[in-house]
Amino acid sequence: MSTRSRLATVVATAVALLVLSAAAGLAFIYSGLYNVAASSKDNPVIAWMLHRTYEASLHRHGGKDLPPADLMSLENVRAGARMYDSTCALCHGAPDRPLSAVGQGIEPAAPQLLAASRRNNPPLMFWVIKHGVNMTAMPSFGKTQSDATIWQLAAFLYNGRGITKDRYDTLKSGAN
Ligand code: HEC
């Protein structure tokens, strides 16, 4: 066989394989075989793919915004605590309170942002809160909230790691 016709065979095989895998992909999508129900855990392979994609995307896109100089002021932490309690706790939980029906129903579940083991790096948290996470229940708050409000949330998340119920209640009610 000449080099030329060998090359033609290789190209034809590659094209046939591409068409076949596209057809198989479409057949899978339209078959309905994949179960999208949120009532059971995500398929571990899909969950791993989504989570790794999220982490890599966060580290590539996030962390570039500069926090305000008074980021960790008590005023900012308090404002963040109030907003967290009214808007985030339903999914992310609050100390000694059962998780809401929404929080229990979403899949993947939202991480417990106030756990003592969290890092809650403020510029990274700022990016997630502002832009949200595609294909999960995490909303983009940049659509409705100012950057200042989002930095206050990031300040509270950093300050509130491992927070007790008493301190949480004090902060959100505006006392010291
Ligand atoms: C409707 C449910 C829901 C609400 C309300 C919600 N979140 Fe989330 N949030 C999620 C989910 C689900 C994830 C996990 C996304 C994933 O799996 O990548 C998440 C992820 C995050 C993360 C990233 C955590 C990490 O480990 O990287 C931050 C930060 C965050 N949310 C902050 C907030 C803040 C602050 C609010 C309130 C202003 C809020 N969220 C409101 C569902 C919610």
Compute the half-sphere exposure of residue 109: CA atoms within 13 Å on the CB side of its CA: 15
pLDDT at 32: 96
Distance 110 CA to ligand 1 centre (A): 6
Q: Where are the domains of the chain?
A: 1-34, 44-172
Query: What would the pLDDT profile of 4-19 be if each residue is shown by its tens digit?
Result: 899 999 999 999 999 9
Distance 69 CA to ligand 1 centre (A): 25
Given pLDDT bands bounded at 50, 70 and 90, which one contains residue 174? confident
Distance 35 CA to ligand 1 centre (A): 24
**pTM (2 decimals)?**
0.92
Ligand 1 site-directed mutation target among 57, 92, 134, 158, most atoms within 8 Å of CB: 92
Q: DSSP string covering 123-171, please? A: HHHHHHHHH--TTSS---GGGTS-HHHHHHHHHHHHHTTT--HHHHHHH
How far from 54 is each of 10, 47, 58, 68, 110, CA to CA, in Å?
37, 10, 6, 26, 13
Query: What would the pLDDT profile of 74-128 be if each residue is shown by its tens digit?
Result: 999 999 999 999 999 999 999 999 999 999 999 999 999 999 999 999 999 999 9
Homologous superfamily of the 44-172 domain (CATH): Cytochrome c-like domain (1.10.760.10)
Distance 135 CA to ligand 1 centre (A): 12
